[in-house]
Amino acid sequence: MAIEIHWIRDDRSLAEHCQDWRALPYVALDTEFMRVDTFYPKAGLVQVGDGSRAFLIDPLLITDWQPLAALLEDTAVVKVVHACSEDLEVLSRLTGKLPQPLFDTQLAAGYLNIGFSMGYSRLVQDVLGIELPKGETRSDWLQRPLSDTQVSYAAEDAVHLAELFGSLRQRLSDEKYAWVLEDGAELVAQLRREIDPLSLYREVKLAWKLSRQQLAVLRELCAWREREARARDLPRNRVLREHALWPMAKTQPDNLSALARIDDMHPRTIRQDGEFLLDLIKRAASLPAEQWPPALPEPLPIDAAGILKQLRTIGQAEGERLGIAPELMLRKKTLEALLKSGYPNGPYQLPDSLRGWRRERMGQALLDNLAGAGEA
Q: How many Å apart are CA 338 and CA 344, to the nearest integer? A: 11
Q: CB 94: neighbour CB atoms within 10 A?
A: 20
CA angle 330, 333, 336 (to 5 degrees): 95
Domains 4-192 and 302-375 share a fold: no
Decide: pTM greater than 0.85: yes
Please say whether the beta carbons of 243 and 232 come within 8 A.
Answer: no
Q: What is the pLDDT of residue 135?
A: 65
Q: How many Å apart are CA 230 and CA 207, to the nearest integer? A: 23
Topology given in CATH for the domain delimited by 4-192 = Nucleotidyltransferase; domain 5 (3.30.420)
Q: Work out the average pLDDT over 298-305.
A: 92
The packing angle between helices 120-128 and 148-171, to 10°, is 60
pLDDT confidence tier of residue 137, bands split at 50, 70 and 90? low
Domain 302-375 sits in CATH at 1.10.150.80
Model pLDDT for residues 61-108, shown as the tens digit of each residue: 999 999 999 999 999 999 999 999 899 999 999 999 999 999 999 999
The residues pairing with 253 across neighbouring beta strands, listed in sequence order, are none
**Residue positions annotated with a catalytic role:** 30, 32, 87, 153, 157
Model pLDDT for residues 325-337, shown as the tens digit of each residue: 999 999 999 999 9
Taking 90 as the threshold, does the pLDDT of residue 372 lie above it?
no
Model pLDDT for residues 175-217, shown as the tens digit of each residue: 999 999 999 999 999 998 888 999 999 999 999 999 999 999 9
Q: How many Å apart are CA 232 and CA 254, to the nearest integer? A: 26
Q: How many Å apart are CA 45 and CA 29, to the nearest integer? A: 11
Please say whether the beta carbons of 82 and 91 come within 8 A.
Answer: no
Q: How many residues does the chain have?
A: 376
Taking 60 as the threshold, does the pLDDT of residue 46 lie above it?
yes
Q: CB 92: neighbour CB atoms within 10 A?
A: 19
Residue extents of the structural domains in the chain: 4-192, 197-291, 302-375
pLDDT confidence tier of residue 136, bands split at 50, 70 and 90? low
The percentage of the chain sitting over the pLDDT mark of 90, rounded to a whole number, equals 91
Domain 197-291 is classified in which CATH homologous superfamily? HRDC domain (1.10.150.80)
The residues pairing with 31 across neighbouring beta strands, listed in sequence order, are 46
Please say whether the beta carbons of 33 and 44 come within 8 A.
Answer: yes
The percentage of the chain sitting over the pLDDT mark of 70, rounded to a whole number, equals 98
Whole-number CA gyration radius for the chain: 24
